[in-house]
Amino acid sequence: MQNDNLPNLVNADSISDNEKEWCGPFTFVQAADTQLGLIDRYLLNIDNFKWEKEKALCRESIRRINAMEPKPKFYIICGDMLDAFPYEGQSTATRKKQYADFVDIFKTLDPEIRLLCVCGNHDIGDIPTPEAAKLYRSQFGQDYFAFCYGGVLFVVLNSQYFMCPDAMPDETAKQLEFIDKLALINPKPKHIVIFQHIPFFLQHPDEGNFDYFNIEKELRLQLLDKLYNLGARYIFCGHYHGNCGGFYKDMEQVVTTAIGAPLHNDPSGFRIVNVFDDRLSHEFVPFFASLSQQKDNNFMPL
């Protein structure tokens, strides 16, 4: 079913089988954490917070992406589209306003460029619930699914089922079964690329547990091995609000900073990914020359 609010949105109901054959190099844009509201609420500690800064940064991303030639196949946001949590209560009205603004902004994406959204912790809750999952799916589509473009298999995962596997055990089990079934896809894809919100690790697969910013080590290594054996060689994530990453064997994990609030050393921006026959290459595109320049401009685009 098409999402009437976001007509460009790709989800499990809008996947075509016509894209399973390799048809030459192409480009897509990966970003994360538009997170409308975080700058005022968290970075600037404003009580009556708004999200004009994130709205401007989202518009800047779309302005740049719409101008790209050739056009990228799609623009994927790796989680935390909104800042307000999806729980009933004090944040409900705020979330509705943030969602309405997100929709208004992303309707301006060039209709030839598809939009994809990945489920983040602010999208389904730090501890996911069936009610939050239902709300997410009604607004952004399925929270885990696969699709093909140009002979490449792209897999969207919900990392909250890895962070809190016991919160919704049936969904955790279904997602793991979904991953296992991807091995049956025919014809064999040119590449397999994974998208999720929370990274498995920040710099090294054997690093310790950071509670919030990576997946628990024992489960992390099991999942990395599962994805590697599936044939995945690239994983793109967000959540950290800074650029980092590393390798598990020869499988690269790339963590991209936020479109919205920058929390570490990198200014806001997105990543251009080029897909070739034998490899993927990627380049981060910052909206500012430095984080200090972004702060000096009150976090707004120049």
Note the pLDDT of residue 18: 75
Per the domain annotation, does 285 fall within a domain? Answer: yes
Alpha carbon 235 to its chain centroid, in Å, reads 11
Note the pLDDT of residue 159: 98
Note the pLDDT of residue 105: 97
Per the domain annotation, does 302 fall within a domain? Answer: no
Alpha carbon 301 to its chain centroid, in Å, reads 21
Note the pLDDT of residue 298: 96
CATH number at residue 158: 3.60.21.10
Per the domain annotation, does 21 fall within a domain? Answer: no
Number of domains in the chain: 1
Per the domain annotation, does 110 fall within a domain? Answer: yes
CB 66 within 8 A of CB 111: no
Per the domain annotation, does 113 fall within a domain? Answer: yes
What is the Cα–Cα distance from 97 to 88, expressed in whole angstroms? 14
Helix/strand/coil percentages in the chain, nearest 5: 30, 20, 50
Question: What is the span of the domain harbouring residue 148?
Answer: 26-296
Note the pLDDT of residue 115: 95
DSSP secondary structure, 112-170, as one string? TSEEEE---HHHHTTTT-HHHHHHHHHHH--SSEEEEETTEEEEE--THHHHSTTTSHH
DSSP secondary structure, 175-236, as one string? HHHHHHHGGG-SSPPS-EEEE-SS-S-SS-TT----TTSS--HHHHHHHHHHHHHHT--EEE
Per the domain annotation, does 4 fall within a domain? Answer: no
Backbone φ/ψ region at 133: left (φ over 0), alpha (ψ -120 to 50), beta:
alpha
Which residue do the tokens 């380049």 mark?
283
Note the pLDDT of residue 186: 83
List per-residue pLDDT tens for the chain, 302 residues long: 456 688 788 866 656 667 888 989 999 999 999 999 999 999 999 999 999 999 999 999 999 999 999 999 999 999 999 999 998 776 789 999 999 999 999 999 999 999 999 999 999 999 999 999 999 999 999 999 999 999 999 999 999 999 999 999 999 999 999 999 999 988 889 999 999 999 999 999 999 998 899 999 999 999 999 999 999 999 999 999 999 999 999 999 999 999 999 999 999 999 999 999 999 999 999 999 999 999 999 999 98
Tokens describing residue 7: 């007509």
pTM comes to 0.96
Per the domain annotation, does 20 fall within a domain? Answer: no
Note the pLDDT of residue 29: 98
DSSP secondary structure, 46-61, as one string? -TT---HHHHHHHHHH
Spatial neighbors of 144 by CB under 8 A, at least 6 apart, are 119, 156, 157, 158, 161, 175, 178
Per the domain annotation, does 48 fall within a domain? Answer: yes
Q: What angle do CA 99, 102, 103 make, to 5 degrees?
A: 90
Note the pLDDT of residue 1: 45
What is the Cα–Cα distance from 136 to 60, expressed in whole angstroms? 25
